[in-house]
Amino acid sequence: MAFSLFSSKNRIINLVLNDHSIRFVELKQANPPTAQKWGERFLPPGIICDGKIADMDSLANILDECIDEWKIQRRQIRFVVPDQLFIIRKVSVPSEIQEDEMKGYLYLELGSSIHLPFEEPIFDYYLLSQNDKTIDLLLFAAPEQYVMEYADLLSSLKLTPVAADISPLALYRLYHHLGFGNKNENLFTIQFDLTSVNLCIFEGAVPVVMRPFTLPFNLEHWEIQCDMQRPIDFKYTGEADRLVIQFEDILNEISKLIDFYRYTLNKEKNGITKFLFIGDHPMLGAVIDEMKERFETPVERLMLDSKTKGSVPSNLLLSLGLALKEVN
């Protein structure tokens, strides 16, 4: 399953951009997942907002500096479509639609029988089940305009975009590659970053529902330390109560999505079997501890062995999962 826009090739730079950072990984080997090189750059507020490029000139200048600093000129690029831009939706189509007709059928039905919150989408789909009357699909869609702004920007900097992906799939790809995937589990992934949270529930390897939301971020309340030799360090200097309220909101959203999945999507057949955390928020550990107190379901954090040569910092794991795309 892929959210494909372009044909893919080898020796690709794997780029993740969000509202507060640019990160990349170049894969050296897949077993165990080892990086040839990696890097990251902090993005000041206002350049990317809610996943959309807000200041194209500034982003182009910063990316140009990164390309020179990281020595990735004229390379092929995979990138992650920001979580706030795409949606996952279950749709049903008539069973007589053939596989080679499916893309065309979906394209014609988008905006009429299949409603999306944006026009002119770029999309992919995944077959769930089929009976005599209907075919059930998962539809992955994003506004073509905003996705292509990223692709066009990379092209303008003499990079070659060859594939786009979505973060839940990149996260699950790494999880599965490390040998943790279980086709019988209902995995609840939580990507908890400095400026956003993305919640996604997987049935086996299939993401069936996702909820992204943006976190309030005031640069005056944070101390940011950037060092090319080490991961970006975020330290909160504001009022502690602000974070407490923020954490409580996140936990409430988690509970709401659990209920939606259990009573609406799953019809009370099965519950969540595991929570999996990943992210760069400095208080991630505190939220994990609180989750363990509130839920009986196992709570884990996706980590690599930091002693392994070539092991990337934990805040670059999403880039590493992207790098494993189409690795056998």
Identify the structural domains of the chain with CATH numbers, from first to last. Answer: 13-85+143-323 (3.30.420.40), 87-141 (3.30.1490)
Give the model's pLDDT for residue 271: 86
Question: Using 50, 70 and 90 to split pLDDT, how confident is the model at 227?
Answer: confident
Q: Please tell me the pTM assigned to this model.
A: 0.91
Tokens (6 digits) for 33: 């997942």
Tell me the β-bridge partners of 212: 198
Of the candidates 314, 322, 305, the one whose C-alpha atom is nearest the C-alpha of residue 231 is 314
Least confident interval from 123-132, 161-170, 265-274: 265-274
Question: Using 50, 70 and 90 to split pLDDT, how confident is the model at 6?
Answer: very low
Choose the most confident range, by mean pLDDT, from 1-10, 18-27, 115-124, 221-230.
Answer: 18-27
pLDDT at 215 over 80: yes
Contact 15, 178 (CB under 8 A): no
Give the model's pLDDT for residue 228: 66
Question: Using 50, 70 and 90 to split pLDDT, how confident is the model at 9?
Answer: very low
Cα separation, 154 vs 5, in Å, equals 14
pLDDT digits (tens, 9 = 90+) for 93-115: 999 999 999 999 999 988 788 88
pLDDT at 2 over 90: no
| More reliable by pLDDT, 168 or 1 | 168
Over range 50-73, report the average pLDDT.
97
pLDDT digits (tens, 9 = 90+) for 145-183: 999 999 999 999 999 999 999 999 999 999 999 999 888
Average pLDDT, the chain: 90
Element counts in the chain: helices (H) and strands (E): 7, 17
pLDDT at 5 over 60: no
Q: Other CB atoms closer than 10 Å to residue 143's CB: what's the count?
A: 20
